[in-house]
């Protein structure tokens, strides 16, 4: 499943790059992608499967961009005003997500949101450590992550 998707994805990128939206070109992109995936299959897909959730994806992205914009404005304010009002801290978030991909997406989303930064994942992949500029309360911070991004990522992959 996932290899196939990746293959399509690569084919699309190829056509996008070459800028020639012809069937032949797409075919070549597919073939090229197939070859690449074939060669590096073992390295790329040791296990796991891929679930397709197009609508969730769209919704998810919209949500994400909104969050991104908001928090960007917040830090912009922080930088542009002379006084610092940060309450930074590093907080461990217990994870319900299981797969590497899910955790990675979550971590990256957190990082992309200004003010927060995924520092590390524990070796047993059960805790994500996040640095945030605004931790007024550890508990509620944890909850905001869990109810925000984590929930949505979970939905995406169910």
Positions 80 through 119 that interact with other proteins (CB under 8 A): 80, 84, 86-92, 94, 100-101, 103-104, 107-119
Residues 6+ apart with CB under 8 A from 150: 93, 95, 96, 97, 106
Q: Return d(Cα 35, Cα 102) in angstroms, integer.
A: 27
Minimum distance of other proteins from residue 52's CB (angstroms): 16
Is residue 39 part of the contact set for other proteins (CB under 8 A)?
A: yes
Minimum distance of other proteins from residue 155's CB (angstroms): 19
Residue 127 corresponds to which tokens in the numbers above? 């805790």
Interface pick for other proteins out of 4, 58, 62, 69 (rule CB under 8 A): 69
Is residue 63 part of the contact set for other proteins (CB under 8 A)?
A: no
Q: Return d(Cα 40, Cα 83) in angstroms, integer.
A: 51
Is residue 147 part of the contact set for other proteins (CB under 8 A)?
A: no
Nearest to 92 by CA among 73, 115, 118, 113: 118
Contact positions with other proteins (CB under 8 A) in 126-145? 126-127, 129, 131-133, 135-139, 142
Is residue 121 part of the contact set for other proteins (CB under 8 A)?
A: yes
Is residue 32 part of the contact set for other proteins (CB under 8 A)?
A: yes
Beta strands 89-94 and 116-121 are unpaired
Given the structure tokens 């169910």, which residue do they identify?
158
Is residue 4 part of the contact set for other proteins (CB under 8 A)?
A: no
Interface pick for other proteins out of 8, 30, 68, 156 (rule CB under 8 A): 68
Strand extents, DSSP E, 34-125: 89-94, 116-121
Is residue 66 part of the contact set for other proteins (CB under 8 A)?
A: no
């Amino acid at each position: 499943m996932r290899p196939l998707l990746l293959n399509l994805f690569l084919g699309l990128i190829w056509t996008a790059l070459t800028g020639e939206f012809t069937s032949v070109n797409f075919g070549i992109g597919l073939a090229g992608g197939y070859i690449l995936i074939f060669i590096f299959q073992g390295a790329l897909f040791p296990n796991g499967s891929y679930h397709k959730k197009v609508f969730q994806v769209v919704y998810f992205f919209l949500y994400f961009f909104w969050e991104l914009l908001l928090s960007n404005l917040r830090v912009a304010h922080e930088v542009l005003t002379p006084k610092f009002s940060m309450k930074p801290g590093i907080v461990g978030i217990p994870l319900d997500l299981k797969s590497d991909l899910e955790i990675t997406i979550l971590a990256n989303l957190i990082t992309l949101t200004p003010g927060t930064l995924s520092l590390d994942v524990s070796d047993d992949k059960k805790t994500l450590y996040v640095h945030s500029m605004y931790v007024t309360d550890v508990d509620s911070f944890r909850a905001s992550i869990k109810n925000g991004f984590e929930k949505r990522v979970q939905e995406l992959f169910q």
